[in-house]
Amino acid sequence: MSEPSSTDPFWSALPFEVPAASRPPTDVELQALWSAARAQHPMLGVDAAQYFQYLAQRCDRADVGDFIHQLDGPQLYLALACAHGDDRAVRRFEHEYFEEVRTGASRLRCAPDELDEITQRVREALFGAAPDGRAKLVHMTGRGDLRALVRLVALRAGISLRRRQGRLPADGGDGLVDVARLGDSPSLMLVKREHRERFVVALRAALATLDAKPRTVLRLREVDGLSQARLATMYRVDRSTITRWLTRARTDVLAETRRQLTALYGVGHHDFDSFVDVIRSNFAASIHRMLDEAASPPAAP
């Protein structure tokens, strides 16, 4: 397949208008993405115009040049080929990335038979038809980290399986409630408007990855209001240990939420940091509303 003669399909497909006179000099970078994609997947046939349109549809910010630099052209090319029903692309995708199913499911300590079911559910989640007739994968790729995406989808499939088995509460482990209950400050209202549903999905999965002890300690502190001194007595450790546990749990939740938002939706670092600072600075109030009031008894020290 020859090199595309124009990157105009990219600019015309952006979700916002960029006048020609204001476009950054990114045509070389776009052509390089195409060349790298074709070199890595020479047996797959994707139309250049559709490829550039697909890249543009991933863009969620006005800084187009920065966005283009973050893209993984070959991975997005493979995802688009899968979305068009190319069996060779699907086989290549599974060969390259389905090892991540085991990685994602391992966080839930799944048995081999559970792993088989999760793998099938990941196939359905990625390659099943979306309302537009293309594979669902095409709407989930963000900027192109397919390994992280497969891990996340596998984790969510594992959580769903555990719910059906009665081994997790219906909300994913800690009773994460709708972000509409986060609070009423203007900054939190902005978070809700722009990222509400995405944040709920990512945060629910992030909380589910915490082990029982840090999750319980976090809930006892932020929801039930137990002091660190009281927690130290309960767990027979000193207060500095409780402080470390809480700090680590908060850090892990925020880091995992960031990773999942990036993998699943392509939410970049600037977008995430713009509202996660609000969550971090209001963590006690936020987590109080995110975690169910009636959690399980404390984990054994």
Question: Does any domain span residue 113?
Answer: yes
Q: Does residue 272 lie in a domain region? A: yes
- Residue 13 sits in the same domain as residue 154: yes
- Is the model's pLDDT at 34 over the cut of 90? yes
pTM comes to 0.58
Let me know if residue 295 belongs to a domain: no
* 225 in a structural domain: yes
Instruction: Determine what percent of the chain is predicted with pLDDT higher than 70.
Output: 70
- Reported as a pLDDT band with limits 50, 70 and 90, residue 61 is low
Q: How far apart are CA 286 and CA 192, in angstroms?
A: 12
Indicate if 254 and 180 belong to the same structural domain. yes
pLDDT at 96: 93
Mean pLDDT on 52-80: 86
Q: How many domains does the chain have?
A: 2
Classify residue 297: in a domain, yes or no.
Answer: no
DSSP string, 162-207: HHHTTSS-TTSSS-PPPGGGS---HHHHHHHHHHHHHHHHHHHHHH
- Asked if residue 228 and residue 119 are part of one domain, the reply reads no
Same-domain pairing of 98 and 55: yes
pLDDT (tens digit, 9 = 90+) per residue, 121-147? 999 989 988 888 888 888 776 666 788
Q: 197-227: per-residue pLDDT in tens? A: 666 677 777 888 888 788 888 877 776 667 8
One domain for residues 117 and 196: no
188 shares its domain with 115: no
User: What mean pLDDT is predicted for residues 85-94?
Assistant: 94
The 10s digit of each residue's pLDDT in 252-297 is 888 887 777 776 655 555 445 545 554 554 445 455 555 543 344 3
- Distance from the first to the final alpha carbon of the chain: 62
Q: Note the pLDDT tens digit of each residue in 219-260.
A: 777 766 678 888 888 778 889 999 999 988 888 888 887 777
Is 158 found in the same domain as 12? yes
User: Could you tell me if 214 and 78 lie in one domain?
Assistant: no
Range of the domain at 118: 8-162
Least confident of 2-11, 69-78, 189-198: 189-198
Which residue, of 139, 162, 185, is where some domain finishes?
A: 162
Q: What per-residue confidence (pLDDT) applies to 33?
A: 93
Q: Is residue 2 part of a domain?
A: no
Last residue of a domain, one of 113, 132, 162: 162
Q: Is 38 within a domain?
A: yes
Q: Which of 37-41, 86-90, 110-114, 262-266 has the lowest mean pLDDT?
A: 262-266
The answer to whether residues 124 and 145 belong to one domain is: yes
Domain termination residue (choose one: 111, 128, 162): 162
Q: Burial, 211: exposed, middle or buried (Cβ in 10 Å; 0-12, 13-18, 19+)?
A: exposed
- Confidence (pLDDT) at 226: 75
Looking at 51-55, 110-114, 180-184, 290-294, which range is the least confident one? 180-184
Q: Do 158 and 268 sit in the same domain of this protein? A: no
Quick one: tokens of 236? 């027979």
Cα separations in angstroms, 267 against 9, 30, 80, 262: 23, 20, 19, 5
State whether 27 and 133 are in the same domain: yes
Q: Residue 146: inside a domain, yes or no? A: yes
pLDDT above 90 for 79: yes
- Pair 138, 214 in one domain: no
Mean pLDDT of 108-123: 88
